[in-house]
Structure 1
Amino acid sequence: MTEPDFLTATRATYETVAQAYTEAQSQALDGRPYDRAFLSLFAELVREQQGPRRVADVGCGPGHITAVLRDLGLDAFGLDISPAMLAQARKAHPELEFREASILDLTVTDTSLDGIVALFSFNTVPARYLSKAFEGFAKALRPGGLVMLSFSVRDEPTDMTTWLDHEVSLPLQRLVPEEVVRALTAAGLTVRAQLVREPHPPHETRPYATVIAARPSTWGVTA
């Protein structure tokens, strides 16, 4: 089966910038108070569920968020499409598990997860693939399991040609909260909370959205 172009472009870009991205993200959460707060909230909600607290960090990059989730009391592991990024993650956090996977195929057992975090992992995903990705998330979650997404709000697609002093070719997709919520709902997930926030300089340059959704405890019935 042919891989969608956006996955190929995403992998190639992160293979190119892996070292520079790791260095840039080393203190990333220091300037993101909303992300820190939502990660703490997400962890608290997962801990309230009965289960092993198994959580996947999708698009984990160098594993800095995976480590935060671990420190918040979750059994966290990382998934990423880029082997170079995974090498950075394993080097920085040898005590954690990291595996290669794409956002369209998490390569996990159905109903094996208590939570999924995807911070800025959907900015390269075209709208027509959102429902497919979220259907995979829903299948991976146990009943009551949670999803937390954060993404850049963008009304029109654009192409990134330089990043972190490297030449890249990465299409950034239109991504607005209303369309993301519709795709989550179409996949059978129930939105629990959402927030759109203005940029928080100097670390953010455009609006960002965070959405928390859940797989209903009784599949097919809105909880």
Structure 2
Amino acid sequence: MSNAYDKMLNRLNAYRQMQNMSQENMGSVMGITQSHYSKLEKGKKIISGEELYNLKKNNIDVDYLISGRGSLRTVLDELMEQCSSKKRAELLQLIVWTVQQGMESAQIAGSAAALFTREIELLRYQVFPHTSKRTIWYKIRMANEMTQSEMADVLDVSVKRYREIEKGNTRANAEVVASLYENLGYLPSIILEEDVVNLSCLNHIWKAFEKELQDELEAFIRKGCGLWECRPGEGAK
């Protein structure tokens, strides 16, 4: 059992108690019995992909449970959601470039910058047409220029099992998702929200900017959207 997964179980237990939820209540949220949930919390069974998805579906912050960092929404999500789907790839490129300029202005470097670069590559694979029918796991692997065997090693699973995950034939359990975060830095919401462009990493960087810089960058992005008649704030066209 990975260190990241152990920490997730600790956070899950603390979260349940903080919310004054019984094991039966939490089990119900996850679609399982109290007895089964008790075994999960004690580490005697691994939280399945379906059970992890049920947590997310019931508005429990799985990003926080696995990473210790709460999920964030920023104006970047609003801009993306309000833009025409036909212009979304262009908007994403504009957002990425603009946030990069913000990072330089705010002098963000080191591990945060490295994670940001990795996120950019994944975002490119998420929105471009030639990968639209591929699973998020394929896109992560391509963004990191890894073979299926290398991905399996990173996630500590067999190649056969990884292939089934990448094909979408089976959901990755919480231990695999925790390993993904621990070794490559991707938050679980990226896996659990495969049908949308997930800006989780960019949102954390955006929040690190001073308000004045955020306002300046947002105005620049909105101006670019206006040139495309994307116009966030007026609804998608």
**TM range, smaller chain:** under 0.3
User: Which structure dedicates a bigger proportion of its chain to strand?
Assistant: 1
- Give TM-score, length-normalised by structure 2: 0.25
If asked which structure has higher relative contact order (CA below 8 Å, sep 6+), I would say 2
User: Which structure dedicates a bigger proportion of its chain to helix?
Assistant: 2
User: Looking at CA atoms only, which structure, 1 or 2, has the larger radius of gyration?
Assistant: 2
- Give TM-score, length-normalised by structure 1: 0.26
